[in-house]
Structure 1
Amino acid sequence: MTAEISSPYSAITYGVSDRIATVALNRPEARNGYTLTMAHELEHAFTAADADPDVQVVVFTCVGKDFSVGADLSGGGFDVTTTDAGSDWQEPAGRCSKTIFGMNKPVIAALRGVSVGGGVTITLSCDFRLASHDSRFSFPFSRRGIFPEGGSTWYLPRLVGVSRATDWMLTGRLFGAQEALDAGLVTSLHDPAEVLDAAYAMARDIIANTSEVSTAVIKQMLNRLSGLDSPIPVHALDSRLIAGLDSHSDAAEGVSSFLEKRPPHFPLSVPGGLPAWLPWLEPGATP
Structure 2
Amino acid sequence: MSRFEQIDYAVEDGIATITLNRPDSGNAFTQIMRRELIEAFDAVDGDDDVRVAIVTGAGKNFCVGADLSGSTPDKPFSYSGAGQSDTQSTPELVDGVPRDGGGMVTLRIAEVRKPVIAAINGAAVGVGVTLTLPMDIRICAESSRFGLVFARRGIIQEAASSWFLPRIVGVSQAMEWVATGRLVPAAEAREGRLVSRVVPDAELLSVARAIAADIVANTSGLSVAAARRMFWSSLSEASPWTAHLHETRIIAALKQAPDAAEGVTSFFEKRAPAFPGRVSSDLPPLPEWPVRPTSLSTGTTEGAQQ
TM-score normalised to structure 2 length: 0.86
Deviation, structure 1 residue 156: 0.8
Aligned match of 2:129: 120
Higher relative contact order by CA 8 Å / sep ≥ 6: 1 or 2? 2
CA displacement 1:69-93 (0-9 Å, x = unmatched)? 1011112331158585646943111
Report if aligned partners of 2:165, 2:174 keep a CA contact under 8 Å in 1: yes
Aligned match of 1:14: 9
Report if aligned partners of 1:116, 1:139 keep a CA contact under 8 Å in 2: yes
CA displacement 1:192-248 (0-9 Å, x = unmatched)? 121011111111000001100000000000010133110111111111123335422
Equivalent residue of 2:118, what SS?
strand
Q: 1:266 to 1:58 in 2, by over 3 A?
A: same
Would you say 1:67 and 2:62 are equivalent positions? Answer: yes
CA displacement 1:31-50 (0-9 Å, x = unmatched)? 11111111111111111111
Aligned match of 2:288: 280
CA displacement 1:140-183 (0-9 Å, x = unmatched)? 11110012111111111111111101111111111100001111
Residue identity matched to 2:206: D
Would you say 1:141 and 2:150 are equivalent positions? Answer: yes
Alpha-carbon distance in 2 for matches of 1:154, 1:111: 21
What is the correspondence of 1:196-275 to structure 2 with a 5 Å cutoff? 196-275=205-284
Alpha-carbon distance in 2 for matches of 1:215, 1:89: 34
Q: 1:177 to 1:57 in 2, by over 3 A?
A: same
Report if aligned partners of 1:279, 1:285 keep a CA contact under 8 Å in 2: no
Report if aligned partners of 2:103, 2:160 keep a CA contact under 8 Å in 1: yes
Equivalent residue of 1:49, what SS?
helix
Report if aligned partners of 1:31, 1:67 keep a CA contact under 8 Å in 2: yes
* Aligned-residue RMSD, C-alpha: 2.0
Aligned match of 2:88: none
Alpha-carbon distance in 1 for matches of 2:37, 2:236: 27
- Gaps spanning 5+ residues in structure 2: where? 81-90, 294-306
Equivalent residue of 2:279, what SS?
coil
Report if aligned partners of 1:80, 1:91 keep a CA contact under 8 Å in 2: no
Aligned match of 2:173: 164
Residue identity matched to 1:46: F
Alpha-carbon distance in 2 for matches of 1:112, 1:242: 38
Aligned match of 1:190: 199
Would you say 1:42 and 2:47 are equivalent positions? Answer: no
Alpha-carbon distance in 2 for matches of 1:125, 1:263: 30
Report if aligned partners of 2:257, 2:282 keep a CA contact under 8 Å in 1: no
- Gaps spanning 5+ residues in structure 1: where? none
Report if aligned partners of 2:250, 2:286 keep a CA contact under 8 Å in 1: no
Report if aligned partners of 1:280, 1:286 keep a CA contact under 8 Å in 2: no
Alpha-carbon distance in 1 for matches of 2:254, 2:54: 31
Equivalent residue of 2:32, what SS?
helix
Residue identity matched to 1:247: Q
Q: 1:173 to 1:265 in 2, by over 3 A?
A: same
Aligned length: 279
